[in-house]
Amino acid sequence: MATEKLIIKNFAGLNHIDIEIKKINILMGPQASGKSMIAKILFYCKGLSEPSP
**pLDDT tens-digit map of 1-53:** 578 888 999 988 889 989 998 888 899 999 988 889 989 988 888 777 767 66
Cα separation, 38 vs 19, in Å, equals 10
DSSP string, 1-53: ---EEEEEEEETTEEEEEEEE-SS-----STTSSHHHHHHHHHHHHHHHSPP-
Please report how many Cα atoms fall inside a 13 Å half-sphere around the Cα of residue 29, on the Cβ side: 11
Cα separation, 2 vs 5, in Å, equals 10
Residue 9 confidence (pLDDT): 93
Residue 31 confidence (pLDDT): 93
Residue 1 confidence (pLDDT): 59
Q: What is the pTM of this model?
A: 0.71
